[in-house]
Chains A and B, each alone.
Chain A
């Protein structure tokens, strides 16, 4: 039982390049999330998927797109990377959006640097 896995762990991009961050969970959770964490800012929600087939914007969606490929996988795409997107990206999942328990389980993160 791996929980939430993310790839890659580290990435350096040049301004304007694109890339996709991958996330998968094996806990049969319905809901998945992408966050970014910057020093002094705390975790901020980029996009989330309450259930398979749905995605919604979070607090900071500009510059990102997501795909909920199936129940297990939720990817985050940067179409044209900018230095402001340098951050640590965390994927998370939770049991069910409408359940009483909302605790989220996080992947190990992707450290992205855009030069």
Chain B
């Protein structure tokens, strides 16, 4: 299994739709999980952290299933401004108390008027 694997996309959805992104990770020792958003030709920006109990931020809901090593992101009532690439990100312990992040390749979302 690849370290972090995401739906290849792209997803093209109409405004107002609900869209779900899925992600699996291979390192069972991972402790921190994130969704980043990257606009075209821009840097990645943190969208939200993902907690074990699941968490919500407005129209965005993130879920974590440690047993299945699975992470999801749900976007409700999609807006045109949600069009971007969504990156699933997982930390890994690189030894000596340092940690790296491993990024999925991303899933591109286009919200259509």
Contact = CB atoms under 8 A, between A and B. Distances in A.
Contacts of B87: 42-43
Interface in B22-63: 32, 34, 42-46, 49
The size class of the interface chain B forms with chain A is 20 to 34
Interface stretch (A11-19, A66-74, A96-104): A96-104
Interface of B: 32, 34, 42-46, 49, 87, 91, 94, 96-101, 103-106
A113 B76 CA distance: 39
Nearest to A50: B98
Interface of A (DSSP majority class): loop
Contact of A103 (B43, B46, B103): B46
Given A41-B105, A42-B103, A101-B32, A108 B98 contact: no
Contacts of A108: 42-43
A28 to B, nearest CB: 18
Nearest to B104: A42
Contact of B105 (A40, A58, A97): A40
Contacts of A42: 87, 103-106
